[in-house]
Structure 1
């Protein structure tokens, strides 16, 4: 704690000796032919990175304008008035400008003139690679999952898991603030958030010290509009899988307050097929056990969501937002496995059986609540924000198992299982931004995170007509953690160049306790970690929308509490345990990127990266004994280990072709090499992925899109995933002046999607794949009653400055 405070105080002391000072741009507008001054001309400054309007003014009766509080940097200066051609030029602001001369040429009379240029689909701004989802017509009828698939380096699998360049430890932010949702809650959010409610998706593959994660940041920025009116939207999405999801939303808003209530329900029925095998070897390399299984599964789920959001614009500089939501979930499933099962040690035994599992009363629920407050001290960008977030996810249920052995001399085994899990978490954050002299900007923040979890697992065996608890298969565990983090970043802009330095300190305290339900085998772990995260980000953007960036960050990763605990969690064939000798893992990330926007063509971008890990934490499976449960039988057990070293180097390409507003062709490709060294063994593999998206608007009313993607096998520690591929197609249209919208999609037309992996550890080798009902037809209808300007807010429950997860 003292180390953290000392580091942050020292950095603050070094940079807070300068005062805030932004610039003023003054000038005059006149007729290029007569020289007469032109009054009431709209003059605006747009950001070079994405042409977003920053500040503006209108000329007075003498044709003079003045734009105050301009942050130093490069801008597009635009001027427009009815009867004259639009004026556009680049403008570098490093100090006060007093004599900006604008001359307008007379042109065709226009009814309206917008001073916002066409936005590129992909742009870079500092450490952020931004995907302007609002400008992508091909995903407007889908969900946030479809939009995320088009963000650079992002993939969403069939179960809703999000990865960035194959890394799952990615942090999801909503409207510039962490979502703090656990995995299940996040899946529900991504599944139900409409894509047309998203303004843009910001991807940070090499986060600065501002962020706590090492796996990357994905910030989903939603549409935010305030008008004085109300809107009721109702709709339904249906799939042949089958899946039905009706929803309704009501929004009321004026200039000061907006209110949103959202309600939806969801019913789904999924099928799954799979197969796989496993082989266990003894110390001599001889086969000790062999298994092969074929699996079929069915699941029925009923869920929903209700949320309430309120935003209050207290004044022009002060905002308050609050939110609360609840999502219940009921599920039942059944899995049937046919097992070929042979034990070779100490004697050959055929233990093949048919396994039948059913769960008919699984229940889960999640909820969140929070508040966000921001005050802007002036128009220079100096602001203070405070937020509170709390989340929870809970589930429990009974399951029933039947083992019908092929050997007629073995009795059928019947068991029941019970699980009860809860995962509450929360955070408090404080952030202060202060513009400084000469284009510097200081950002300082503090975070307090708290969370925990409880897991209870019980197994009973039917004997003599009653169930008896199996002691070593029935256990409970509790984990608690508290984190205190502080960060500071200092950013400098001059011209098109931006430099950002950062330092982050993280202190964490963790505790866990595990024991069997009969009170035996208790293992307690208490530990603490501290580390520093330095970062450097450099970027440059030319006046012709060409961007370059170079960044370096050193991160560290601490072991989880389950990974440190030596408590054994048994299953039918082995057990998993922790490793108290695990070390902190350090990662060095270096990235270089290039992005070019070509007017009339589209966008071309390349990204090269290198990642080096020391003491990376991975999972290994060994052969061993556990006489307390398995007697003399050789079994497999899984334990985390520090890999000696690993590295990843790769390059990504992102090309967008948009010759007109009626055609959009986008191609993404990634090639990377992953390698590692572990106990004298080295291995590496080159993997690649590609995605092609095509959208077109035909006859002025019908939108057509097609997507194709492929991902080659990827390597991990003694593991290799299977390839995955799919092709999708869809159409959409609006009717009755956009009061009714309809879409029709066909997902995975050829039924090629597949997931799975193979492991090749010396003692334990496996193969496996799963095939879900990924091929389906979906249909969606939306009916709108009220003002259309509020639609994006109504379809997801977004309010003007709220930063919490909202559906």
Structure 2
């Protein structure tokens, strides 16, 4: 068992000193099979005469440079999981270069590796934070939404909407690019992506110029697992649970010196019961008393069957270049039944019923997603110069049928057919300049062509249907960027500029309505870092970003969750632009690490949904529609921490507080009956917070116990108040069959408390015309049992390597 660790060596080097003239020993260490550089590999030098030990570790490109006194030295190279290589004894009297040293994997050693310093859950970079999710037992049997909901700074609400530091306009990427994995409906698609397929999540609150400018809150980049071990290996896993849950998946990888074949397959059946309760209080304008009350009691019974598959082949053209082709396919079938019991009565005489109906919507979904991708990578001389070319083609098709019955009779026959073709071309080039600097430039073009035919077919007394509501949405984005980064002693910087030209065309065929949005904008980025010492550093970031109106926000046709609750898009929307500032501090004190951030965001023409009331045939209809509000100022601070009390007790937590201010706003529009409807939105100056606590404890018999607690504080905006939400997850894990298998028992939402309770004021807070009080639970408590079996994969193998992606992580952190 290897006892020499990187940490021990660094301490030895710091304490060791010897008088006399100094010389340098340099070289490069690579992996024998793939010829890839090994970062953090260790060169150990022992002075034959004095028996003093010194040495160093390799950098990102596998290079090392060690300064030592002249003398006769024994030399060897070590890396966890690789065979130790003993070098020839050398008399070092002048600067020498040992050349390129190759290390081969040691299969036997992998079985006995003791993880002395477990890989940190959080890795800090100059422009991002990386959260490794592999050891989180509470995610076993879960999906991508569960993974994101466990990442500090991120929240996923009861309906699946993802927010970063309280802002829902966050850009979600897969392996650094838009992906068919996100699909037409990002929320639903994330629920269908299994957690076991995810290796880590990058939280990018101050993106460099390399990244898309889309997403005013920042970017969440989901990194999927990929096989890197030579030979044939893989794993299978299955999950069963209550409410009904069955999941079967696996991955297979075969790698040789010339090619790497990898694949992932997964099937998932799930039943997701949920419920909601809404009370509408109608207020008399003259008396300010409640005239009547309407209660809507809804239950959801959602069933889904999803099949995911991907296959890829990476071919090594040379030791520094490769071409990779991948194909992804997903089939999604859904059968959702929503039952809505509605009662409306006079408050002065509750026995006088104004409305009573039983509305049942049976929504059947059939979706298919395909994606073809080709990547070419050339590392040139292996010293950091790199060229990446990506080509991507995606097809997304979805058919929805939603017959609706009211009091047992067919009332509506709704349907939607949506198809989208997406294309991507991306070129990225990285050029190192000297030892500590690099220049990067690139281009990216994305093309989306989407057709949607959405029909709300209401049966009238003559048994006729409404016409088709068809739209075509085209969005083309052309981006160019350049950035330069360098490290000067303890100071690092990354400066960039991105240009994006946007062309959005929306055609509404029924009304011959056209919407054309064209603009070109510049997006500067600045990321600075300063290392106070080995354990403390400061970061400062600035970025300009935007939110483009999505097609469902522009679509003027109505979708209905009930006869009186409607969502409608707004073709007149314009983009939101945001300037963000982020100041961070990170420190490590023995077993305790702490990260702190202060942030400020200024958004113009903010896009937010507004709730309004229309009177249709004597009935109040509640319509939600996105509009451009006034400017918003948002600022806050957050803390993330890890405390490893011992090898058996590990704690982590995070706390985020933010405040936002939006000016008063009056929204007036013309309803279908040509009447003017005015909604007053009061000034908002509110704050909220959320916190997480995670504990992982090793019990007797080497059983792992993990508990995760989350609380999201109450929040208010221009029209509504939302109560706080508390969620607790619990998991127990046990390794079996000599660590080849793992059994995990998981309880998600232990107290069944993940409910959204809110109050909405229609017409303004001061003199509302209607008050809505709601209680919504998207899904109930989930209990599951997960079993994973690995063949030719080592559960405890730790390869502390970083794959440089050109995003600035080579500087600082």
Pick one of 45, 53, 59 that aligns with 2:58.
45
Distance 1:285 1:581 in 2: 37
Deviations along 1:233-255, whole A, 9 cap, x unmatched? Answer: 33211111111012233322212
For the pair 1:34 / 2:52, whether they are aligned, the reply is no
Choose which of 327, 330, 333 in structure 1 pairs with 2:330.
327
Q: Indicate conservation of the 8 Å contact 2:227/2:253, yes or no.
A: no
Q: Which residue among 522, 528, 537 is the counterpart of 1:538?
A: 528
* CA distance in structure 2 between the partners assigned to 1:634 and 1:141 by the alignment: 43
Q: What is the CA distance between 1:454 and its match in structure 2?
A: 2.1
The residue matched to 1:737 in structure 2 has which SS? coil
Deviation of 1:605 after TM superposition, in Å, equals 1.2
CA distance in 1, matches of 2:490, 2:114: 25
Deviation at 1:588, TM superposition (A): 1.7
Matched, 1:294 2:297: yes
Please state how far the C-alpha of 1:509 moved relative to its aligned partner: 0.9
Counterpart of 1:594 in structure 2 is: 585
Q: State the 1:119 CA deviation.
A: 3.9
Deviations 1:208-258 (A, max 9, x none): 322222321122334544344223533211111111012233322212212
1:654 aligns with 2:645: no
Q: Tell me which residue corresponds to 1:87.
A: none
State the partner residue of 1:274: 276
Aligned-partner SS, 1:540: strand
SS at match of 1:423: strand
Hey, what's the Cα distance between the residues in 2 that align with 1:546 and 1:802? 24
Q: CA deviation at 1:197?
A: 5.6
Structure-2 separation of matches of 1:231 and 1:81? 26
TM-score by length of 2: 0.78
1:615 deviation in Å? 2.0
1:734 aligns with 2:725: no
Aligned partners of 1:772, 1:614: CA distance in 2, in Å? 32
> How far, CA to CA, are the matches of 2:723 and 2:413 in structure 1?
33
Deviation, structure 1 residue 157: 4.0
**Using CA pairs below 8 Å that are at least 6 residues apart, which structure has the higher relative contact order?**
1
Conserved? CA contact 2:325–2:373, under 8 Å: yes
- CA shift in 2, pair 1:402/1:380, >3 Å: same
Q: State which of 409, 417, 422 in structure 2 corresponds to 1:420.
A: 417
SS in 1 for 2:464: strand
User: Matches of residues 387-426 of structure 1 in structure 2 within 5 Å?
Assistant: 387-404=390-407, 414-426=411-423
Aligned residue pairs total: 711
Corresponding position: 1:211 with 2:214: no
Displacement, 1:350?
Answer: 5.1
Indicate if the aligned counterparts of 1:511 and 1:525 stay in contact, CA closer than 8 A. Answer: yes
Matching residue of 2:453: 456
Deviation (angstroms), 1:541 = 2.5
* Residue among 503, 506, 517 paired with 1:509: 503
User: Normalization by structure 1: what TM-score?
Assistant: 0.78
The alignment yields a C-alpha RMSD, in angstroms, of 4.1
Partner of 1:470 in structure 2? 466
**Aligned mates of 2:623, 2:142 — CA distance in 1:** 42
1:616 counterpart residue number: 606
Q: What secondary structure sits across from 2:49 in the alignment?
A: coil
Deviation at 1:391, TM superposition (A): 2.7
Specify the SS of the correspondent of 1:733: strand
Question: 1:787 aligned to 2:792?
Answer: yes
**2:542 is the counterpart of 1:552:** yes
> What are the residue-to-residue correspondences of 1:53-132 with 2, within 5 Å?
54-56=62-64, 63=73, 119-132=119-132
State the secondary structure of the residue aligned to 2:167.
coil
Alignment partner of 1:229 is 2:215: no
Q: In structure 2, how many angstroms separate the alpha carbons of the residues matched to 1:564 and 1:232?
A: 45
Name the structure 1 match of 2:256: 254
| Distance apart, 1:650 and its partner CA | 0.9
Counterpart Cα distance in 2 of 1:186 and 1:636:
25
Shift of residue 584, structure 1, vs aligned partner: 3.9
Whole-Å separation in 2 of the counterparts to 1:64 and 1:180: 54
| Residues 245 and 121 of structure 1: CA distance in aligned 2, closer, same or farther (over 3 Å) | closer
Distance, in Å, in 2 between the alignment partners of 1:374 and 1:238 is 40
- Say whether the 8 Å CA contact 1:654–1:668 is kept in structure 2: yes
1:138·1:694 contact (CA, 8 Å) conserved in 2? no
Q: How far, CA to CA, are the matches of 1:425 and 1:716 in structure 2?
A: 35
Aligned counterparts of 1:158 and 1:294: Cα–Cα separation in 2: 17
* Match of residue 163 from structure 1: 163
Q: Which runs of 5+ in 2 are unaligned?
A: 1-23, 28-42, 78-83, 88-93, 98-108, 667-681, 764-768, 807-813
Residue of structure 2 equivalent to 1:493: 487
How far 1:289 moved relative to its partner? Answer: 7.8
SS of structure 1 residue aligned to 2:148: helix
Aligned in 2, Cα 1:393/1:759: closer, same or farther, shift over 3 Å? farther
